[in-house]
């Protein structure tokens, strides 16, 4: 039976750090920072929180109490949760159930991790059964154990199986890591904010074939939190304009196929994810096609690719094609891991699920700045823990009619107002090319562009439509024809781009170049650049 609706009313997180980098960053410090940010974002005092659920993997008992007591000692129930890498989202799931079932109206979900340097070690205890013993045994039935950390062996072997079965290439995995590192450049909370070329990704030290170092998530210190509330609480505190509804959330654990089928794709949680996703979409009446933005568990680049298929973002065996089409980044069908994901943002185990919740909440509010996904209305979360557990959730604005709508920063130029735009000269040149060789351009490009040029005279926006799809092509100013690809840039930036002086990839991830619609068509824009000054788009 469906219960009460549950909303995220506040989120907060620390910057994720390399373990030990900050001296003043013990787990109580990071937890206090994240929880305080979430409470401030929710605009509620801690005294209104009725229960708290705290997730962490590495720590003594009652670390949750040690953290929450800093916020106030009000006698509320505090639960400590450990569910491997899905710990943060497990805390979120339990908090949701408390509100959904009518037990509480306001719950704090908090996750943190203070980790050791280097790759994850095996079990902490040598005098008892390791909970991953059957996973390791299943892998070793098919693969010789290598002198490498265990988890990259499991996920690396899963990637090899996908390559053997579907023809996926190592470059597909590298492209995923390249994308995530690029996305993180605009995330101030990301552990890494460095731009890496695809060659740097591919040529970084090999951890376990096909996974290079830059395709593996790092260990991290950090914390994240979310304040959850009932509809009654939201309305009482007038938080409708910021409340994000958890439309649905499903948890699944391992099925018999994890061990019985003897392959690493199933071993690392493919069927868990597929099962949870199916339940989620069936119960909510939504489908993967409705999703705009995704935060998923890219502990390794191979797992991100596998998860595309398990979530239903593409057909089974077609994830490599999805990567090649760019349907996992800005301008494509979905934007996956705009935060940078685990690979670049970092992976403090107990905080990851709540960091995903934080990112998606901010994306739906339109509050992510340069990494904002245009028009994001439905968000999908996936958080995986080997051993095993997976949580898949959907989010959307809870009260869209109450959402604050910012004023447009630019006014549209009139049909006769292209004078004063520096870019007008570019479009005049394009028009000359089309008049001369229009049929050739139509045959080669086959698309309609809409260019929104901002920052013109008096702060105006000029709109040009370049049709190289029908007839012999045309260029129109001030038109509102339906476009296959919409490109938005400032006047000066567009001039630099078309002259080959502004790198399009750099412009894209710095927010200077915004693309909506067909990304492959945007790449054909180079056809209109002067031949000697073409740059890669």
At 432, which CATH number?
A: 3.30.1050.10
Shared domain check, 293 and 240 = yes
Residue 10 covered by a domain:
yes
Shared domain check, 303 and 202 = yes
pLDDT of residue 413: 35
Please spell the DSSP secondary structure of 444-462, one letter per residue. HH-EEEEEEEES-GGGEEE
Indicate the helix (H) or strand (E) that contains 390: strand 389-397
Residue 112 covered by a domain:
yes
Residue 190 covered by a domain:
yes
Residue 524 covered by a domain:
yes
Shared domain check, 523 and 436 = yes
Peptide bond into 309 cis (omega under 30): no
Shared domain check, 178 and 48 = yes
Shared domain check, 161 and 273 = yes
Res. 278: pLDDT tops 60: yes
Shared domain check, 219 and 165 = yes
Shared domain check, 87 and 182 = yes
Shared domain check, 464 and 368 = no
CB 210 within 8 A of CB 163: yes
Residue 415 covered by a domain:
no
At 239, which CATH number?
A: 3.40.47.10
β-pair partners for 109: 53, 226
Residue 533 covered by a domain:
no
- Structural domain of 496: 422-528
What is the number of domains present in the chain?
Answer: 2
Residue 164 covered by a domain:
yes
Last residue of a domain, one of 342, 364, 397: 397
CB 239 within 8 A of CB 42: yes
Shared domain check, 500 and 371 = no
Q: Quick one: pLDDT band at residue 57, thresholds 50, 70, 90?
A: very high
The answer to pTM > 0.85 is: no
Last residue of a domain, one of 397, 413, 436: 397
Shared domain check, 484 and 524 = yes
- Calculate mean pLDDT across residues 337-365: 98
Shared domain check, 89 and 202 = yes
- Model pLDDT for residues 123-172, shown as the tens digit of each residue: 677 789 999 999 999 999 999 999 999 999 999 999 999 999 999 999 99
CA–CA gap between residue 269 and residue 389 (Å, rounded)? 8
CA–CA gap between residue 50 and residue 5 (Å, rounded)? 17
pLDDT of residue 481: 84
CA–CA gap between residue 9 and residue 372 (Å, rounded)? 19
- Model pLDDT for residues 424-450, shown as the tens digit of each residue: 889 988 999 899 888 888 988 989 999
Shared domain check, 188 and 58 = yes
Residue 373 covered by a domain:
yes
Res. 496: pLDDT tops 80: yes
The mean predicted confidence, pLDDT, of the chain is 91
Q: How far is CA 222 from the centre of its chain?
A: 18
Active-site positions read 85, 347
Res. 409: pLDDT tops 60: no
């Amino acid at each position: 039976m469906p219960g009460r609706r549950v909303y995220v009313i506040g989120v907060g997180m620390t910057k994720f750090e390399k373990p030990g980098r900050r001296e003043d960053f013990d787990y109580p410090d990071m937890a206090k920072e994240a929880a305080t940010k979430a409470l401030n974002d929710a605009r509620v005092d801690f005294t209104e929180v009725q229960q708290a659920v705290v997730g962490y993997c590495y720590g003594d008992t009652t670390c949750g109490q040690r953290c929450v007591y800093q916020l106030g000692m009000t006698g509320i129930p505090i639960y400590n949760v450990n569910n491997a890498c899905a710990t943060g989202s497990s805390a979120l799931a339990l908090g949701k159930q408390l509100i959904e079932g009518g037990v509480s109206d306001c719950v704090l979900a908090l996750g943190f991790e203070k980790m050791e340097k280097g790759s994850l070690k095996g079990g902490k205890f040598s005098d008892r059964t390791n909970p991953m013993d059957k996973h390791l045994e299943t892998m070793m039935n098919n693969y010789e154990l290598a002198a490498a950390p265990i988890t990259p062996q499991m996920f690396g072997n899963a990637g090899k199986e996908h390559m053997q079965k579907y023809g996926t290439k190592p470059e597909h995995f590298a492209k995923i890591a390249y994308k995530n590192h690029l996305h993180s450049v605009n995330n101030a909370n990301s552990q890494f904010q460095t731009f890496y070329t695809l060659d740097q990704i591919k040529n970084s030290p090999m951890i376990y074939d096909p996974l290079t170092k830059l395709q593996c998530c790092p260990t991290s210190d950090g914390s994240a939190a979310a304040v959850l509330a009932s509809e009654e609480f939201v309305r009482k505190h007038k938080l409708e304009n910021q409340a994000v509804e958890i439309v649905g959330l499903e948890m699944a654990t391992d099925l018999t196929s994890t061990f019985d089928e003897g392959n690493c794709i199933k071993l690392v949680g493919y069927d868990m994810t597929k099962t949870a996703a199916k339940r989620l979409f069936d119960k909510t009446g939504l489908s993967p096609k409705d999703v705009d933005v995704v935060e998923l568990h890219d502990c390794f680049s191979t797992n991100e690719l596998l998860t595309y298929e398990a979530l239903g973002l593409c057909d089974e065996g077609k994830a490599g094609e999805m990567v090649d089409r760019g349907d996992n980044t800005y301008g494509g069908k979905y934007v996956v891991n705009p935060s940078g994901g685990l690979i670049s943002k970092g992976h403090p185990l107990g905080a990851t699920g709540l960091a995903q919740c934080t990112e998606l909440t901010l994306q739906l509010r339109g509050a992510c700045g340069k990494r904002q996904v245009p028009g994001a209305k439905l968000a999908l979360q996936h958080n995986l823990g080997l051993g095993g557990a997976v949580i898949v959730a959907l989010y959307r604005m809870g009260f869209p009619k109450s959402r604050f709508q910012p004023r447009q920063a630019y006014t549209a130029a009139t049909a006769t107002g292209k004078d004063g735009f520096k870019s007008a000269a570019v479009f005049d040149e394009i028009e000359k090319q089309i008049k001369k060789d229009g049929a050739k351009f139509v045959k080669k490009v086959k698309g309609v562009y809409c260019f929104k040029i901002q920052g013109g005279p008096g702060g105006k926006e000029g709109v040009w439509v370049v049709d190289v799809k029908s007839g012999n092509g045309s260029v129109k100013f001030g038109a509102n024809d339906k476009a296959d690809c919409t490109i938005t840039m400032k006047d000066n930036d567009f001039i630099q781009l078309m002259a080959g002086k502004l790198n399009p990839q750099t412009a894209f991830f710095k927010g200077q170049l915004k693309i909506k619609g067909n990304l492959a068509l945007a790449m054909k824009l180079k056809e209109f650049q002067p031949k000697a000054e073409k740059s890669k788009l």
